[in-house]
């Protein structure tokens, strides 16, 4: 898959990286983060970090739902930027990053260890298509991590979780929203310009 810049970073992203001394910025093609076999099985996109301004917006909107979220899970966490950001806010009991690529999960763990005294984040190397979400109301973050087939598998695998716990999907660069609709999700709100939306089974 060709790389394409979904969102432009700005001064907040440069500040986040510099202030915390972490390595999260830059775009990495699939060839740089996974073997071809792994990439094909994962059906994933390339690495690209979510800008801080979107994370702020997602957190604010999550709080506005009134749901007492227990977990934040980033499916396809890459170098861990979203998890490191959410971990520092203290808004969630558990913050988990799930990533298929071993080079990226190692960088994510290094980043966390550097920030160890400030945030508790778990980084798990796994394929999202067969990853079971933890119990409790969860804010599941997707930044266009994989194609529609992998998305459908992830949702099917976790459908009972969404039905039971009332978890929400925060979806950035939400090109496969139709998959969610087909699995019974409703769009709670959408920012068309920024292609950012929240979804839940209501
Ligand atoms: C667009 S990046 C998003 C990175 C991160 N969520 C962020 O917002 O900063 C998508 C990530 O999903 C990962 N990915 C792709 N397919 C995956 C799969 N099946 N399971 C887990 N991670 C996957 C890629 O390796 C890549 O790091």
Q: Which domains does the chain have, with CATH numbers?
A: 11-200 (3.40.50.150)
Ligand 1 neighbours (beta carbon < 6 A) = 33, 42, 44-45, 47-50, 74, 76-78, 81-82, 98-101, 104, 127-129, 143-146, 150
Query: Taking 90 as the threshold, does the pLDDT of residue 158 lie above it?
Result: yes
Question: What spacing in Å lies between the alpha carbon of 99 and ligand 1's midpoint?
Answer: 6
CA separation for the pair 27, 15 (Å, rounded):
17
The pLDDT of 163-189, averaged and rounded, is 97
CA separation for the pair 170, 179 (Å, rounded):
14
CA distances from 48 to 6, 57, 81, 145, 185 (A): 8, 18, 10, 9, 26
- Give the other-Cβ count within 10 Å of 178's Cβ: 12
Residue to substitute in 99, 123, 196 for testing ligand 1 pocket (most ligand atoms within 8 angstroms of CB): 99
**Lowest mean per-residue pLDDT among 43-47, 148-152, 187-191:** 43-47
* pLDDT band, residue 35 (cuts 50/70/90): confident
Q: What atom in ligand 1 is closest to the CA of residue 50?
A: 8
Residue to substitute in 44, 95, 97 for testing ligand 1 pocket (most ligand atoms within 8 angstroms of CB): 44
pTM listed for this prediction: 0.95
Is-contact 152 172, C-beta < 8 A? Answer: no
**Which distant-in-sequence residues (6+ apart) come within 8 Å of 13 by Cβ?**
25, 49, 51, 52
pLDDT of residue 31: 82
Q: Exposed, middle or buried: residue 90 (CB in 10 Å: 0-12, 13-18, 19+)?
A: exposed
SS3 54: helix
The 10s digit of each residue's pLDDT in 80-139 is 999 999 999 999 999 999 999 999 999 999 999 988 556 689 999 999 999 999 999 999
Instruction: Quote the mean pLDDT of the chain.
Output: 93
| Residue 8 phi, psi (nearest 5) | -85, 135
């Amino acid at each position: 898959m060709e790389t394409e810049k979904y969102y432009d970073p700005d001064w907040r992203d440069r500040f986040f990286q510099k202030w915390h001394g972490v390595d999260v910025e830059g775009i990495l093609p699939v060839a740089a983060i996974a073997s071809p076999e792994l990439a094909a099985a994962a059906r994933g996109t390339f690495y690209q970090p979510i800008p801080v301004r979107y994370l702020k917006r997602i957190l604010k909107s999550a709080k506005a739902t009134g749901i007492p979220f227990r977990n934040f899970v980033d499916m396809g966490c890459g170098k861990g930027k979203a998890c490191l950001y959410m971990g520092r806010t203290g808004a969630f009991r558990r913050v988990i990053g799930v990533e298929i690529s071993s080079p990226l999960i190692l960088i994510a763990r290094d980043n966390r260890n550097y920030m160890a005294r400030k945030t508790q984040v778990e980084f798990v190397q796994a394929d999202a298509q067969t990853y079971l979400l933890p119990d409790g109301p969860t804010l599941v973050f997707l930044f266009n991590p994989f194609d529609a087939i992998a998305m459908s598998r992830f949702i099917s695998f976790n459908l009972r979780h969404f039905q039971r716990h009332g978890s929400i999907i925060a979806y950035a660069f939400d090109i496969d929203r139709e998959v969610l609709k087909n699995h019974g999700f409703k769009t709670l709100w959408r920012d068309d310009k920024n292609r950012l939306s929240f979804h839940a089974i209501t």
